Amino acid sequence: MEKTIIIYESKTGNTEKVALTIKDGLEDAGLEVSLKKVDDASNIDFFDYDLIYIGSPSYNWRPIKSISDFLTNKFNNYKEKGKIKIGSPRIPGKNSLVFCTYSGPHTGMRPFQRVK
């Protein structure tokens, strides 16, 4: 059975809803799924999982600071331990997926107002 983790941050609840929906779908497909908010995932070892999902609201076209900091710290930690190197080959059976959520006037969340 593939071991999966979903790590996310949610400010308004939208990203959490997506994370929970992904979790339900993966469990329906028979995968073992852990769900963690980014603040509770600092001691997670990515190498313990076959599939890693990272979810973040989009802010100025980028992940929010808590997700960026989490990923940067993980990368630096693995680099210091020699677990990953720049240009390393892929590790068979290990995959990741990133998802983002966003809202605003372009999504229909606010009523359109015509400018005269």
* Nearest partner of 53 among 3, 2, 98, 100, judged by Cα: 98
What's the domain count of the chain? 1
111 in a structural domain: no
98 in a structural domain: yes
55 in a structural domain: yes
Per-residue CA distances from 27 to 20, 31, 61, 94, 95 (Å)? 10, 5, 30, 18, 17
Q: What is the pLDDT of residue 19?
A: 95
From first to last of the 116 residues of the chain, give the pLDDT tens digit.
689 999 999 988 889 999 999 999 999 999 999 999 999 999 999 999 999 999 999 888 889 999 999 999 999 999 999 888 777 778 888 999 999 988 765 555 554 444 55
114 in a structural domain: no
Q: What is the pLDDT of residue 91?
A: 81
Rounded to the nearest 5°, which phi and psi values hold at 93?
Answer: 85, 0
Q: What is the pLDDT of residue 112?
A: 45
Please, what is the Cα angle at 39 between 53 and 32, to 5 degrees? 40
26 in a structural domain: yes
Measured CA to CA, the distance from residue 30 to residue 83 in angstroms comes to 29
CATH number, domain containing residue 56 = 3.40.50.360
